[in-house]
Structure 1
Amino acid sequence: MDSVVYLTALVASAYWIIHILNASHLEKLFKPNHIWQIRSSYVVIALGFGHLLAQMVVQIFNLF
């Protein structure tokens, strides 16, 4: 059951974080026309923070 909660929370939080990163205009820190670097950094950041949020959700889920 924990894996289902973790996977659901990971996908939802990564999706949410990618939208936050798109709204923050983080791509201005990169050189122009380096689309691949921008997209890959968004994915790495989103999965990193998504993992942290998913772990917190699983820990809270296990309390109850």
Structure 2
Amino acid sequence: MKRVKLSKPGGLQNLMLEESTIPEPNDNQVLIRVMSSSLNYHDLLVALEGFQLLMAESYSLTVLEKS
């Protein structure tokens, strides 16, 4: 799977597209496929200026596996 990681605040050049392993779901967890995501305004401020990271995300997804 792919993920975008912010290596350090200070500019969009610090956003890196990386390959990552697909995690195995534990009991009472599901594995999802994120179909689309976005760089929203808050994420942009975090990347550009180092604003505090908050867990405020939205996704379009599909359940792949249920344990």
Q: What's the TM-score, normalizing by structure 1? A: 0.26
Q: Which has the higher helix share?
A: 1
